Structure 1
Amino acid sequence: MSLAGELKRLGRHSLVYGIGGLVSRILAVLLLPLYTHYLTRADYGAIETLIALTAVLVIVLRAGISSAFFRYYFDARTDEERVVVVRTSFWFTMTMATAGLFAGLVLAAPIAHALNGMTPGLVRAAFVGLWAQMNYEQLTSLFRVEERSVQFAIASLANVLVTIAATVLLVAVWHKGAVGVLVGNFTGTLVVYVVLLAYRRYQLGLELSRSLLREMNRFGLPLVPSGLALWAINFVDRLFLNTISG
């Protein structure tokens, strides 16, 4: 393919991926009036603190597997090798996400106490969201390596639509407050994830290559500190404000 053709292809996919990212920003704007009407300042603080907590845990639990997945997928020379990369990444992500979820459910009470007296139910909802986010993003990354940007955008849009519907129902109709926001946010992710599991079932056999995983971890783990630094820039102020507010 010529350089002009490559640039055109890259531009087309980048535009669609950009639209998919824009949808999440639109979601935040659309739900803002709902939040301001039904949530208290304490609810806002709890939600933002838990978002910050789960964001850093996602970085640690992933151990750089997302970046390694892209590298080794494109390094693979055959379809069989690519399937091994997909399955190894999938099961590693599933294992780490499930470990994080289990720890969060078991330690919900002490975590809630450490975060200025939040309810354990809020913490549990946040960790379910962590599990959903990690696994959903691993599956949607398949669309990216396959350059199926339209399908990626459709999955993102479906996620947003289900999230809006669930959040409105939980917050405005059932008055569940901060828990309703967290549950609404991961409901869309879980629904689309289940659909993607069925759609991708032929690629997700029970297979994990230990040698490949070691190579992927050697590549991905050195990237974790940079992810933590970016997290600190974006989120540390929220934890600071939560601490000084008591």
Structure 2
Amino acid sequence: MTLGAQMRRLGKHSAIYGLGGIVSRVIAVFLLPLYTRYLEPSDFGAVGLLVGLSAVLVTILRAGISSAFFRFYFDAKDTAERLLVLRTSFWFTMASASAGLVAGVLLAEPLADLLLLDEPNLVRAAFVGIWAQMNYEQLTSLFRVEERSGLFVLASLANIAVTIATTLVLVVGYDQGALGVIVGNFTGTLAVYLALLGYRRAQLGLQLSRPLLREMNRFGVPLVPSALALIALNFGDRF
């Protein structure tokens, strides 16, 4: 393939991937007046705090496996090796996210006290969101390595649509405040993830290679500190 053809392919996929992000940001702007009308200042604080906490915990629990997935998938010599990379990444992510979810549910009350939150259910909902986000992003990354950008954006737009609808119902219809925002945000992610599980069921067998996982962790874990530093830059001015 010529350099020009490669650049055109890169530009095409980049534009399509960017579409989902643009749509989500435009919608966020239109939803802002609704949030300011139905949420108290304390709700904004709680949501912002839990979003920041979730970003940190997702990065730690993921242990760089998402970056390692891309590298080892393209390094694989054949379909069988690529499938092993996928399954190892999938089950590591599932186990890590589930361990975080269990810990978050069990420790919700002391964590709520530590974060000065009145409602432990906010913490529980945030950890469900962490579980959904980690597993959803692992499956949608498969569309990226397959260069199926259209399906990636379709999943993203479906996620956004369900998220908006659920958030409107919970915040406006049921006056759930911060809890409604958090639950609404992960409902779309969780719904699309469950659909993707069905779509990918033939590829997600019970297979995990410990030697491969060690190699992937050796590559991915050193990337965690820089990711945490970037989160600190993004969220540091909010607290």
TM surpasses 0.5:
yes
- Give, in whole Å, the separation in 2 of the partners of 1:130 and 1:209: 25
Aligned residue for 2:102? 102
Aligned residue for 1:12? 12
- Give, in whole Å, the separation in 2 of the partners of 1:156 and 1:136: 10
- Give, in whole Å, the separation in 2 of the partners of 1:80 and 1:23: 36
Q: Secondary structure at the match of 2:77?
A: coil
Aligned residue for 1:195? 195
**CA-to-partner distance for each residue in 1:140-180, whole Å, 9 max, x for gaps?**
00000000000000000000000010000000011111100
Are the equivalent residues in 2 in contact too, given 1:23–1:156 (CA < 8 A)? Answer: no
- Give, in whole Å, the separation in 2 of the partners of 1:52 and 1:184: 17
Aligned residue for 2:84? 84
| Corresponding letter in the other structure for 2:56 | V
| 1:33 shift after superposition | 1.6
Aligned residue for 1:31? 31
Aligned residue for 2:165? 165
Q: Secondary structure at the match of 2:84?
A: helix
| 1:24 shift after superposition | 2.1
Tell me which moved more, 103-112 or 22-31: 22-31
Are the equivalent residues in 1 in contact too, given 2:55–2:231 (CA < 8 A)? Answer: yes
Q: How does 1:1-246 map to 2 (within 5 A)?
A: 1-238=1-238, 240=239
| 1:3 shift after superposition | 1.1
Tell me which moved more, 14-23 or 147-156: 14-23
Alpha-carbon distance change, 147 to 233 in structure 1, aligned in 2, over 3 angstroms: same
Give unpaired runs (5+ residues) of structure 1: 241-246
What is the percentage of aligned positions where both structures have the same residue?
Answer: 67
Aligned residues: 239
| 1:186 shift after superposition | 0.4
**CA-to-partner distance for each residue in 1:27-81, whole Å, 9 max, x for gaps?**
3113212111100000000000000001000000000000000000000010010
Runs of 4+ in 1 over 6 A off after TM superposition: none
Give unpaired runs (5+ residues) of structure 2: none
Q: Secondary structure at the match of 2:36?
A: helix
**CA-to-partner distance for each residue in 1:177-221, whole Å, 9 max, x for gaps?**
110000000000000000000000111001000000000000000
- Give, in whole Å, the separation in 1 of the partners of 2:87 and 2:27: 32
| 1:20 shift after superposition | 1.6
- Give, in whole Å, the separation in 2 of the partners of 1:73 and 1:162: 31
| Corresponding letter in the other structure for 2:49 | T
Task: Say what the alpha-carbon RMSD is for the aligned residues.
Answer: 0.8
| 1:116 shift after superposition | 1.3
Aligned residue for 1:244? none
- Give, in whole Å, the separation in 2 of the partners of 1:127 and 1:85: 26
- Give, in whole Å, the separation in 2 of the partners of 1:26 and 1:206: 40
| 1:23 shift after superposition | 2.2
Are the equivalent residues in 1 in contact too, given 2:46–2:117 (CA < 8 A)? Answer: no
Scaled by the length of structure 2, what TM-score is found? 0.98
| 1:26 shift after superposition | 2.1
Scaled by the length of structure 1, what TM-score is found? 0.96
- Give, in whole Å, the separation in 2 of the partners of 1:84 and 1:26: 38
Q: Secondary structure at the match of 1:5?
A: helix
